[in-house]
């Protein structure tokens, strides 16, 4: 099978909202007048972002999910995406699974594949998503205010837990491992929550590198500090049964610095607390208050008794030595 047959068979569907989709030199999209375009790219490299053992269907899902997660973090509504794919060979069973997982998630969010590029090379997947948001409504990293509560959606630490089990540094009951592995291989982007938080949250980011590292981006962009509590790591909706099975200190590492969570980390004024919980209920995603934004700079992490923890939590950085 050649390049163009491959594109036609696995990545071409009739255009829905696009003026022109896959097949011409450019896709054409008619923007809704008055809306701002939200654009984001994420690349997945084999061995770096995923293990070669992941199923093609889950990989198709995850490649789009991590991109939709960026739209969610901005409170943008997904519209369309492009897919640049580098493949070592034409493996039809793999392409079938990959495109199936990709389109299942795309259809869930009404997000249309409108173009891309296909080439031979090491397995590498780069997606660019396009979304829209009314001017002034986007949730940005720089909008946190001193006094804001800090929240995280869903559960954190599970993807890292699964990775550590696969690496052999931890062992876990088989059923719990499967739940953690699903979180690593098939994360659910919090698109509905991002939309529901418009006008309620101040700053927002999605947790990809690790909660503390990503909170650091909000602090830097907003020029604020933060105090993180950890009582929620002992017992809250943010800690899954799989993570609950670990001793507290290991749990802390996974939850605070694990990465690959694709949850929303956001801040909101205390008088929005009720609205935050209502938005979470409407979206059927728990949100947990995990700390407070402070004036000045720096992060303080408190233990469950409210005593500052001095050790460092290191989030993921591709180029850190
Ligand atoms: P060009 O050489 O003009 O850039 P290509 O030959 O690379 O175009 O691609 C042909 C058409 O197929 C284009 O519309 C392009 O957007 C689309 N396309 C290529 N690869 C993919 C892919 N992996 N997924 C979706 N569309 C693709
Ligand atoms: Mg061309």
- pLDDT category, 318, cuts 50, 70, 90? low
Atom nearest to 23 CA in ligand 1: 14
Cα R_g (the chain), whole angstroms: 20
Q: Which of 305, 93, 74 is nearest to 190 (CA)?
A: 74
Q: Whose CA is nearest to atom 11 of ligand 1?
A: 23
Output the pLDDT for position 66.
98
Mean pLDDT for 126-137 is 98
CA distances from 81 to 132, 139, 310 (A): 12, 20, 43
Can you spell out the DSSP letters for 231-299?
HHHHSSTTS-HHHHTS-HHHHHHHHHH------EEEEE-GGGHHHHHHHHHHHT--EEEEEEEESSS-E
The b-or-e profile of 133-155 (16+ CB within 10 A means b, else e) is: beeeebbbbebbeeebbbbbbbb
Q: What is the pLDDT of residue 296?
A: 87
- Per-residue pLDDT tens digits for 261-307: 999 999 999 999 999 999 999 999 999 999 999 998 899 999 988 89
- Starting from the CA of residue 24, give the closest ligand: 1
| CATH among 3.90.650.10, 3.20.20.70, 3.40.630.10, 3.30.360.10 for 141-301 | 3.90.650.10
For residue 228, report the phi and psi dihedrals to the nearest 5 degrees. Answer: -100, 130
Q: Is the pTM of this model over 0.85?
A: yes
Tokens 């001017």, residue located: 135
H or E element that contains 40: strand 36-45
Ligand 1 atom having least distance to the Cα of 84: 23
Report yes or no: 78 and 110 within 8 Å, Cβ to Cβ. yes
The ligand placed nearest to the CA atom of residue 12 is 1
Name the CATH superfamily for 3-133: PurM-like, N-terminal domain (3.30.1330.10)
Domain extents for the chain? 3-133, 141-301
CA of 112 to the centre of ligand 1 (A): 14
| Residue 115 bridge partners (DSSP) | 82
């Amino acid at each position: 099978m050649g390049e163009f047959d491959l594109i036609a068979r696995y990545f071409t569907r009739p255009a829905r909202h696009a003026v022109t989709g896959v097949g011409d030199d450019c896709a054409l999209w008619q923007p809704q007048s008055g809306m701002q375009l939200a654009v984001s790219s994420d690349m997945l490299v084999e061995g770096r972002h995923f293990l070669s053992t992941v199923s093609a269907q889950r990989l198709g899902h995850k490649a789009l999910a991590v991109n939709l997660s960026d739209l969610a973090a901005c409170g943008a509504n997904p519209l369309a995406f492009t897919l640049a794919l580098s493949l070592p060979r034409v493996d039809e069973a793999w392409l079938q699974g990959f495109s199936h997982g990709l389109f299942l998630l795309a259809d869930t969010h009404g997000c249309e594949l409108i173009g891309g590029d296909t080439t031979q090379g090491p397995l590498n997947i780069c997606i660019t998503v396009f979304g829209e948001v009314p001017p002034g409504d986007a949730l940005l990293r720089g909008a946190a205010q001193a006094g804001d509560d800090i929240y995280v959606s869903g559960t954190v630490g599970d993807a890292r837990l699964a990775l550590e089990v696969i690496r052999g540094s931890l062992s876990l009951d088989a059923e719990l491992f499967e739940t953690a592995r699903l979180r690593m291989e098939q994360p659910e982007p919090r698109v509905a929550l991002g939309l529901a938080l418009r006008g309620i949250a101040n700053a927002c980011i999605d947790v990809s590198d690790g909660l503390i590292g990503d909170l650091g981006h909000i602090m830097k962009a907003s020029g604020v500090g933060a105090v993180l509590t950890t009582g929620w790591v002992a017992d809250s909706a943010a800690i899954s049964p799989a993570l609950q099975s670990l001793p507290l200190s290991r749990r802390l590492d996974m939850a605070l610095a694990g990465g690959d969570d694709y949850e929303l980390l956001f801040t909101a004024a205390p008088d929005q607390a009720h609205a935050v919980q209502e938005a979470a209920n409407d979206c059927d995603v728990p949100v947990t208050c995990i700390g407070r934004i402070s004036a000045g700079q720096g992060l303080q992490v408190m233990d469950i008794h409210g005593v500052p923890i001095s050790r460092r939590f290191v989030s993921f950085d591709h180029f850190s030595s």
